[in-house]
Each structure stands twice: as structure tokens, then as C-alpha cells.
Structure 1
């Protein structure tokens, strides 16, 4: 399983999440503590927003701990909204096109999880895409394809509802083709304004997700960046997170039902 971190708030140097904390994302790339695999060495990527609508992005297939440019970039880039990811591949080769985050126009996306039986589902999933989205596909991962499907289902207009429809479609397809379904999905995505995250799994074993205030903003992570357990609130399985200027909102997420009313989750002050 992969590890990732995302931030929205007052501009922050990327190193404050990526390389400086005791259990930074680079540290997690070779010593994760809350994942099935402790090593996440199949590439990395960062996407950040600045003066342009579309995000900047840097990805490579090297392990995050061995790329000499990553620490330098993280020390120099300051952004109000960014996503960072280290990869442990569950499908798709180790190549740059398969490294997260994925981007399309002003949208960025990264994911931790998997679709069981993806290779048997891929062709039918790809067939749902319009030409512009199909042609935008550069890699071979289920993560990128789920992102493009969410765009197909209206991510630009209704982000959480589009993710719900996308997962509903994948589950239905899996049931029809495989006779069973298993989707584990913890993802972060952004349009450069709001930051969103979803934690969901059909078997209630979704990859972990935590939230914490960081400076004058909020951080969403796969696992805490330090040992201050009181600073991090675990986001429950079956949740959608929306982070805007109004603050952080956590609502129930269920692909097969209409969106439910927001439910409070205690986030440390």
C-alpha cells in the first residue's frame, strides 16, 4: 500500500510534510508503520498549486529516499495546497506514468488502495471514457483510471457525488464480471481551491486516513507525521472530507445511497 500527505491552508513549504517531520513522507517511504508494506519504494510524486490554475508536478520512479532533487524542491517550493505520494505498487509497472499524483487540467489526484481483479475489469472501465479522457491516460494503474472515470461522471461539477458514482460503477461492473467485488479506496484530490479526501472499502478495511491542524491549515495523511497521537484524528471508514476556507467537514460516504448529512468528527484544535 502507498503512503501520502496533502495540505491546504496558508502557504507552507513542502518540506514541512515531505521531509522535515520525524515521520515525514520520505521516512514513511522506507519505514511505514501503519501499512501492510513498510517500504514504499516504487516511485513518488508531488503536485502543488501556485499562480496558475493547473498544478505543478514532479514525479520519478526512484524511491523517495534516494532522489537528491526531492528534498531540494521541497525546501524551496511554498504552496497553499499540495499533494505528495510515495508508491508501493499493487498493479502497473514501476514507471513515471504510474506515479501519483495524476493531473488533468486543474485537477490533481492520488490514491492508496486497489480494485480486486482489475485486469479483467480494465477494458470495460476504459470503454466508459470519452475520447479526451481516454487519450489523457498515460499509465496502466487502476488509480489513474478511477480518477478519469470520476471526471467522466462529473468530478468538475460535483466532486463527492462523482466519486460515489464512479465507485458504484466499479462495484457493479465487478459483480457482473467477477461475481464478487472488493474495492479499497483512500484518496485525496483537488481542483486547486478545495481539498477533498475519501476513505471507503467494500469490506470495511479501507487504508487509513488522519487529519490534523498544521500551522494555519490542515493536513490529511495516510499515517501521522509524528508521535503526538493527540494531534491526529482518524477519519472513519466510509467518510468524505472537504477542506475549504470554511474549515474541515467530514460526512458519511456510501456509493450506493444518496449523500448523507454531515456528521461531526473531532479534529484537534
Structure 2
């Protein structure tokens, strides 16, 4: 299935340091995924996309720059040239292995709407069974926004409609909706999909769960979910890394430096970009990761699929069978050590795992 990558830094980075140069960059992952646990479908060759926010504030007034193509990412010379000549401090990148929707640029992620940018790794269970209900639920503005045929773009339209109905105008030029608003809209979007698919699957005998690794940004805050509609299965893999810089130590080899306590560089990825075990931390299944300025917050999603036992070991069989598990032997400490916290609505208050000094 798909892979995505998010970079947010205090200083801009050349896109090639994320997309093409590292030996295990997201582009190289699309054809050479040495960290993927399932090898039955090693290619992500059904198109790619990269969205990046310009450094010039005048150019970023109405959202990010967007480059998408249906050619395999590893064989696109325009992408290589663009990546070497472009810098940004906020980047969303995605390589696609299609599960729903034909091969077309309109079906490639990320999707953008004014200042907002969105991408998805996974799939909505029995999407055909809920598609009509989803489309009937959203306002015409967001219904007419949909250009492709993927469940992912429909999920983004639902997110926009939800944000609007919460009292925030998605057409806002300068973005900056705030982490509370974006997280609340993300949680409610997941709620709708969970409840609708549960109802649609009520009479089905064998139904796979929805895998909802969503990522959204307004150009300032980043919200990422790692979620599955199952109490026993692992969600698609997701990791984060933070430090003072992301540096090239030798041709193709990179590492995350931690020279001080500042988190100047934050990356979130379906599959780690480096082979250093200590560079990356697994995001707990069924949780929301928030990047607020350069602070990372983790909120567990507390619903019927939440596991109260912090030592419960979910099965990775489903995610592996779909090629959605990419990992090095990462420590599970973050999943075991999320402390008991007071409940805040549907989620517990955040655990701050990184912050600016």
C-alpha cells in the first residue's frame, strides 16, 4: 500500500534530502523497501505527490505548491530536478499503491484545499457501502471539490465539511486554525467513518477493518492519526523522529542529530528514513499525533477500539498482509509508557514528548 512522509522544521530543508538522496528515502521506499515486513507487494508505483509550503509568504497565501504525477516516483526526472532546487520548512510527500480508484493524477495524494493539505495511508472498509451516505452528508461545496474516485479524497471532503460545521471556514486564506480545531475535526471525521462502516458491515460475514492513517496541515499545525477499527489488530505503521538536524553523514546515509534539547527538525513517516534504531519512535495504534510549533503531542483515541491495557500486544498480521508495516526493531516504550491521564472529551490530554527549550 501507500507510504507518506511529513517534514516540519524551524529551518527549511532541500526536498532532495527527504525525497531522493537518502538510501531509504520515501522515493526509494517505493521500489526498495528493505524495512517492509511484508514482501509480497514491494512496489508503490501508482503515482506520487509532494506538497510544500513556499518560504515566501506572498506565494503561500492560498496554500502549498503541489506536484503530482502517475509515473513511478523513482523514474520521474522532473521530481528529481524540482527536489534539488526547492527548499521548504513544511513538506507532505506520498507514494501510492492503489487500492481504490483508477490510476490518475486526481487520485494521487496529497490533496489540497486553500491552506489545507491532506493525505491518507490505508483504506476505508466497505467504502462502496458508505459512499452514498458520506456524499449525502457533506455540503455541495465539498462534494463538488472531489475530482477523483478514491476513498481518501472523499475522507478529505468529509474532513473539510466537518471543520466547516464546527465553525471554521476551510477557505481561510492564512490557515492557522489551531491544533484544537484540526484535531477535533479529525476525530469527528474518524467517528463518522467508524460508525457508518460499522452499520454498513452489520450483515457482512467477513469484513476487514478500516485503516485510517490520516495527515492534515494548515501550513502551521500538523495532525496525524494512526487508527484502525479493531481492538486486536495493529494499524498501519507510523513513526516519528525529532532532533536538532537531519544530516547526511556519507552519500545516501543520513541520521538525526540531537546536539541539544531543541526539536528543530520533526519528521513523521509510514516507514523510517534511516536505519538507526534510536532515530525513530513508533506512534501508538489508535492515537493522534499533533505537531504544534515544534512540540509533539500524543493523544490516545478513546472509543470502543481503545485498549486500556498498555501492555496488550496487537496482531500485526493484517497490516503486514497489506504491505502496511514498515519497521526496524523499534522500541515499544512509547506505547507502554503513555501515562494514565485525565480524559478530555473523547481523548486524554496530550503527552508532550518533545518540546522547544
Q: Same fold (TM over 0.5)?
A: yes
Q: Cα RMSD between the aligned structures? A: 2.0
Partners of 1:184 and 1:202 within 8 A in 2: yes
Q: How does 1:88-99 map to 2 (within 5 A)?
A: 88-99=97-108
Q: How many residues end up aligned between the 2 structures?
A: 268
Partners of 1:187 and 1:197 within 8 A in 2: yes
Partners of 1:200 and 1:237 within 8 A in 2: yes
- State the Cα deviation string for residues 106-149 of structure 1 (Å, max 9, x = none): 10011100112111211111111111111100111111111110
Could you tell me which of 224, 240, 244 is aligned with 1:211? 240
Residue 5 of structure 1 is matched in structure 2 by 5
Over 4 Å off, 4+ runs: 264-267
Residue 137 of structure 1 is matched in structure 2 by 146
Residue 351 of structure 2 is matched in structure 1 by 263
Check if 1:19 corresponds to 2:20: yes
Could you tell me which of 65, 79, 95 is aligned with 2:88? 79
Change (3 A) 1:245 1:175: closer
Check if 1:29 corresponds to 2:33: no
1:172 Cα deviation (Å)?
1.4
1:177 Cα deviation (Å)?
2.1
Q: Give the unaligned 5+ runs of structure 2.
A: 169-176, 246-263, 305-344
Distance in 2 (CA, whole Å) between partners of 1:129 and 1:101 is 20
Distance in 1 (CA, whole Å) between partners of 2:216 and 2:104 is 21
Distance in 1 (CA, whole Å) between partners of 2:109 and 2:303 is 24
Distance in 2 (CA, whole Å) between partners of 1:35 and 1:43 is 22
1:264 Cα deviation (Å)?
4.9
Partners of 2:295 and 2:352 within 8 A in 1: no
Residue 48 of structure 1 is matched in structure 2 by 52
Change (3 A) 1:73 1:35: farther
Change (3 A) 1:28 1:61: same
Change (3 A) 1:132 1:35: farther
Check if 1:184 corresponds to 2:207: no
Residue 286 of structure 2 is matched in structure 1 by 238
Distance in 1 (CA, whole Å) between partners of 2:52 and 2:219 is 8
1:55 Cα deviation (Å)?
0.6
Distance in 1 (CA, whole Å) between partners of 2:126 and 2:293 is 39
Partners of 1:211 and 1:219 within 8 A in 2: yes
Check if 1:253 corresponds to 2:301: yes
Q: Give the unaligned 5+ runs of structure 1.
A: none
- State the Cα deviation string for residues 216-251 of structure 1 (Å, max 9, x = none): 310110111111111111111111111122411112
* More strand, by proportion: 1
Check if 1:166 corresponds to 2:189: yes
- State the Cα deviation string for residues 45-69 of structure 1 (Å, max 9, x = none): 0001113131110001001011111
SS of the equivalent of 2:154 reads helix
SS of the equivalent of 1:70 reads helix
Distance in 1 (CA, whole Å) between partners of 2:225 and 2:353 is 14
1:260 Cα deviation (Å)?
1.2
Distance in 1 (CA, whole Å) between partners of 2:27 and 2:294 is 30
